[in-house]
């Protein structure tokens, strides 16, 4: 996992921040623990108006990406931010970056000096995961062509579900999902260590195809920024964007940036880190990178840093691991809320698990 833990794996957004906000119901005095990843969720969570957000990641590159995005929010207006990120075109990206980099701390400035090509190309679409999605989208566009426009332009959910059933949910799609359900594809082709923990391929295939089938009936794909990455390979200013990049939220995010603190830490060691205690936890999909033993160790670390009654929101992608029996009384999963959030989450590929924590 060493290479994966030092490179930029995620640079845009493939989650739905409104789900975390609904699950965590943040209060003005709350201290939130959030896994950094691309930095999208820590920035989205500012809209919940917590007192503090501590963003942690074991990958220093992901933490540097969040520092970079925070500097860009401070330095640029909304239109220039989208251009600098690479969401809109501009010949002036490095000029815009000159306004951003002067706000970086020295170590971060040095980090990004060696990655100017990624900045010039647009950092938003430069991650490992983004490159994989872009390649997949190119293949989908070759096969589906104008059907993608029809899917995104469906006038009703009934029409969208019909288009999905008639032109997407077929043998070609199932073959692609079958490939995505193979451990070797993730570990050898993508270089994604979480592939080692994938369950049975047939179960994974059924789960993913079912997710997309149900999503086509529940919300418009054109309103999901994740479906833009899946089918078009990129985000655009006139399409769906994550919460922190929507223009009506820009000033709110900008005025609350000082509430984010960034640290290199892991969940298993959270109790000994001195970073807590925390009232809420935004945990993303950490279980995809864990054996059952390592997963439980992470929960013990979370519990050691949690206040009684702390809320949590976890995403489950391909590895549906659950806390061991000894953790059950302390990690209290609200099954009804979790199911409701899963139904409405516009990132499609995740089960949502939400509830409260009762430290010993």
Q: Which residue did the predictor score with more confidence, 229 or 199?
A: 229
User: With 70 as the cut, is the pLDDT of residue 120 above it?
Assistant: yes
User: What per-residue confidence (pLDDT) applies to 194?
Assistant: 65
Please, which residues bridge with residue 208 across strands?
none
**What is the pLDDT, as a whole number, of residue 290?**
86
With a cut of 50, say whether residue 1 has pLDDT above it: no
pLDDT grade for 195, boundaries at 50, 70 and 90: low
Say what the pTM is.
0.94
pLDDT over 70 percentage in the chain: 95
pLDDT (mean) for 322-344: 96
Residue 189: pLDDT above 70? Answer: no
pLDDT value at position 4? 62
- Report yes or no: 107 and 123 within 8 Å, Cβ to Cβ: no
Sign of CA pseudo-dihedral 139, 145, 150, 152 = positive
Angle between helix axes 128-144 and 171-180 (nearest 10 degrees) is 160
Task: Please work out, in degrees rounded to the nearest 5, the angle formed at the alpha carbon of residue 217 by the alpha carbons of 232 and 22.
Answer: 85
Q: Would you state the pLDDT for residue 29?
A: 98
Task: Tell whether the model's pLDDT for residue 5 goes beyond 80.
Answer: no
- List residues bridging with 42 in a β-sheet: none
Dist CA 239 CA 241 (whole Å): 6
Report how far residue 333's alpha carbon sits from residue 327's, in angstroms, rounded to the nearest whole number: 11
Residues 193-215, mean pLDDT to the nearest whole number: 83
Burial class (CB in 10 A: 0-12, 13-18, 19+), 328: exposed
The set of residues, in sequence order, having a beta carbon less than 8 Å from that of 36 and lying 6+ positions away, is 42, 55, 56, 57, 59, 62, 63, 65, 66, 262
Burial call 246-273: b when 16+ CB within 10 Å, e when fewer: beebbeebbebbebbebeebbbbbbbeb
Q: Residue 318: its pLDDT value, please?
A: 78
């Amino acid at each position: 996992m060493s290479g994966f833990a030092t490179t930029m794996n995620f640079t845009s957004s493939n989650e739905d921040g409104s789900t975390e906000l609904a699950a965590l119901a943040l209060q003005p005095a709350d201290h939130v623990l959030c896994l950094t990843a691309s930095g999208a969720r820590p920035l989205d969570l500012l809209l919940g108006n917590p007192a503090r957000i501590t963003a942690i990641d074991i990958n220093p590159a992901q933490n540097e990406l969040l520092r970079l995005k925070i500097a860009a929010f401070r330095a640029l207006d909304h239109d220039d931010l989208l251009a600098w990120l690479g969401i809109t075109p501009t010949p002036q990206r490095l000029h815009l970056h000159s306004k951003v980099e002067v706000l970086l701390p020295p170590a971060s400035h040095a980090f990004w000096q060696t990655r100017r090509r990624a900045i010039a190309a647009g950092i938003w679409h430069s991650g490992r995961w983004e490159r994989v999605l872009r390649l997949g989208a190119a293949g989908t566009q070759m096969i589906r062509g104008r059907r993608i426009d029809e899917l995104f332009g469906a006038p009703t959910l009934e029409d969208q579900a019909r288009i999905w059933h008639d032109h997407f949910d077929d043998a070609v799609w199932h073959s692609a999902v079958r490939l995505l359900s193979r451990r070797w594809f993730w570990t050898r082709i993508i270089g994604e260590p979480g592939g080692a923990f994938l369950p049975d391929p047939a179960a994974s295939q059924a789960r993913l195809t079912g997710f997309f089938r149900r999503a086509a009936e529940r919300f418009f794909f054109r309103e999901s920024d994740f479906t833009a990455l899946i089918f078009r390979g990129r985000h655009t200013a006139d399409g769906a964007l994550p919460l922190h990049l929507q223009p009506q939220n820009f000033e709110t995010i900008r005025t609350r940036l000082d509430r984010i603190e960034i640290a290199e830490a892991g969940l298993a060691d959270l109790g000994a880190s001195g970073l807590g205690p925390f009232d809420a936890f935004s945990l993303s999909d950490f279980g995809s990178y864990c054996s059952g033993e390592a997963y439980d160790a992470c929960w013990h670390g979370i519990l050691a840093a949690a206040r009684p009654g702390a809320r949590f929101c976890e995403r489950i992608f391909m590895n549906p691991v659950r806390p061991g029996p000894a953790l059950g009384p302390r990690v209290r999963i609200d099954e009804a809320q979790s199911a409701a959030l899963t139904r409405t989450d516009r990132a499609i590929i995740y089960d949502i698990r939400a509830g409260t924590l009762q430290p010993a």
